Amino acid sequence: MDMEQRLAALEARLLAAEDHLEILRLLNSYGPLVDSGSSEPAADLWVAGGGYNFSGGLSGGTCLTAPEQLVAMYETEGHKGLVATGVSHLTATPRITVHGDTAEAVGYSFVVLKEGDRWYFWRAAINHWILMRTPAGWRIKERFNRGLDGSQDSHDTMRKILD
């Protein structure tokens, strides 16, 4: 391998590492934004028209469209109540696969809620994110989130790690 090839290979590895880091920063921004009541910045993690499909809470499979419907959800009394009580939306380190200007990530998320003087795990879920590179950086195109309730949906989502 000559110097030009080595340099090109090194550049490709650096760009891949930068993509992974940017995606981690994006996904790990979600919790602090929603937990601080920053509705619009949280919704702006998605591309316009992107979706958040989740189970539990409102139904067995609710799909909201960014940004308007996400902002509306974060502005509900139920969500504001969580913020006022003390809540932590945690994103565990996902497995990320980049395909040029698109990417997928699969990983767990947890919601920790404060009750009196104690904290407890309120919800655990598996997530499959589809991401895309935009002029503003990586953004979420789709987030598919299923509670870890033993359902086929949750198992199928976990198995996406094998793809």
**Whose structure tokens read 């790690």?**
161
R_g of the chain, CA atoms, integer Å = 17
CA distance 115 to 118: 5
Q: How many CA atoms, within 13 angstroms, populate the side-chain half-sphere of residue 132? A: 10
| pLDDT on residue 62 | 86
Is 115:126 a contact under the CB 8 Å cutoff?
no
With cut-offs at 50, 70 and 90, classify the pLDDT of residue 60. low
For 76-81, what is the mean pLDDT? 96
**Domain 3-162 class?**
alpha beta
Beta bridge partners of 37: none
Q: What are the structure tokens assigned to 144, written together?
A: 């598919």
| pLDDT on residue 57 | 54
